[in-house]
């Protein structure tokens, strides 16, 4: 059974930092395409950052230079380091794993940035 569990969200002031974690069981993050998405109130879910099985990373324009996605294969965990947070980063952040034809999602973790 595949499970993704996010943690690390919370309330932070604008300009601050948070690190989100996504602990994965049932599949290997090193063999999967992992991503972080987010959904703000009243808005559609949007892709934020991703790391491919070969380690290639990519970011949505609005977070480039501020967010960093990484993974620890030994811990089977994916991280999202978020720096210089802005009010517009407020959202529920979801971890996603794509393994072959299957997609898996976590339950999400709330990030709230106060202005």
Q: What b/e sequence results for 75-110 when a residue is b if at least 16 CB atoms lie within 10 Å of its CB, and e otherwise?
A: ebbbbbebeebeeebbbbbbbbbbbeeeebebebbe
Q: What is the pLDDT of residues 53-64, one digit of tens each?
A: 999 999 999 999
| Cα 98 to Cα 91: distance, rounded to the nearest angstrom | 22
At 5-59, the pLDDT tens digits run 999 999 999 999 999 999 999 999 999 999 999 999 999 999 999 999 999 999 9
């Amino acid at each position: 059974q595949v499970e993704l569990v996010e943690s690390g969200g919370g309330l932070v002031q604008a300009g601050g930092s948070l690190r989100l974690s996504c602990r994965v069981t049932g599949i290997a993050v090193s063999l999967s395409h992992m991503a972080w998405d987010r959904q703000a109130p009243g808005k559609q879910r949007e892709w934020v950052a991703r790391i491919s099985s070969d380690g290639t990373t990519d970011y949505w324009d609005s977070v480039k230079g501020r967010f960093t996605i990484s993974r620890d294969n030994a811990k089977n965990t994916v991280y999202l380091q978020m720096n210089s947070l802005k009010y517009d980063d407020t959202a529920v952040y979801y971890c996603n794993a794509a393994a072959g034809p299957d997609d898996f999602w976590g339950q999400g973790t709330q990030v709230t940035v106060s202005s």
